[in-house]
Amino acid sequence: MTEQYNTVANVIKDRRSVKPFMMNGRKIAHEQVQSLLELADWAPTHGLTEPWRFVVYANSSDFCHQHAELYKTNTPATEFIQGSYDNFYTQGDKVSHVIVTIMQRGNLPKIPVSEEVAAVAAAIQNVLLGATALHIASFWSTGGMILKPAMHSYFNLREEDQIMGVIYLGYADEYPKGVRRVPLSEKVVWK
């Protein structure tokens, strides 16, 4: 194997989801976040539609407070949980940046939606791997209101567009251990 392969393999194997509460509050230079978005821009894309779009919050609490308010406004009183609201509200307290990731449907109808979604997922993976290489903690979340119509409306998206999740970025003092529950041999069939 080449040195370049080993470097890439190590970054892939070292990538971990670090939940926002595990981050330590240190700020990331905006230039580093911009460099991660440049990696995202090199994701594979069928028909060169480049469907990824990003809304970056340099003040992560701004997004988290808005997320909490969307939850409060769009949840029936009988289903509202104050603890969930509080969690959404404070989720950005130790996070440096929040990136809302959107799949903006291209104008080539022959490209299936699934391929546009896959392209944005690849862009997100590029961000996560780049963050790992820079020793930046990351967490890709689709929880809370993120995939709900209220969030879709909040960002004034077209019906055919989708929020793909939110990436929380920061630094952490500890990282979770990597786990794979199913051996690779049970996931691969050679013919």
Please indicate, yes or no, if residue 73 is contained in any of the structural domains.
Answer: yes
Please indicate, yes or no, if residue 181 is contained in any of the structural domains.
Answer: no
CATH for 104: 3.40.109.10
Instruction: Report the share of the chain in percent with pLDDT over 70.
Output: 100
User: pTM for the full model?
Assistant: 0.94
Please indicate, yes or no, if residue 156 is contained in any of the structural domains.
Answer: yes
The mean pLDDT of the chain is 95
What does the pLDDT look like over 54-86, one tens digit per residue? 999 999 999 999 999 999 999 999 999 999 999
Domain housing 114: 3-173
Give the side-chain half-sphere CA count within 13 A for 119. 24
| CA separation for the pair 74, 79 (Å, rounded) | 10
Please indicate, yes or no, if residue 189 is contained in any of the structural domains.
Answer: no
Please enumerate in sequence order all residues whose Cβ is within 8 A of that of 39, keeping only pairs 6 or more positions apart, or say none.
Answer: 126, 127, 129, 130
Instruction: Look up residue 171 and give its two tokens.
Output: 């630094």
Please indicate, yes or no, if residue 184 is contained in any of the structural domains.
Answer: no
How many domains in the chain? 1
Q: Torsion angle of alpha carbons 68, 70, 71, 72, nearest 10°?
A: 90
Please indicate, yes or no, if residue 115 is contained in any of the structural domains.
Answer: yes
Please indicate, yes or no, if residue 26 is contained in any of the structural domains.
Answer: yes
What does the pLDDT look like over 99-140, one tens digit per residue? 999 999 988 888 999 999 999 999 999 999 999 999 999 999
Residue 165 in contact with residue 101, Cβ under 8 Å? yes
Helix (H) or strand (E) holding 37: helix 30-40
Instruction: Look up residue 77 and give its two tokens.
Output: 């009183």
Please indicate, yes or no, if residue 188 is contained in any of the structural domains.
Answer: no
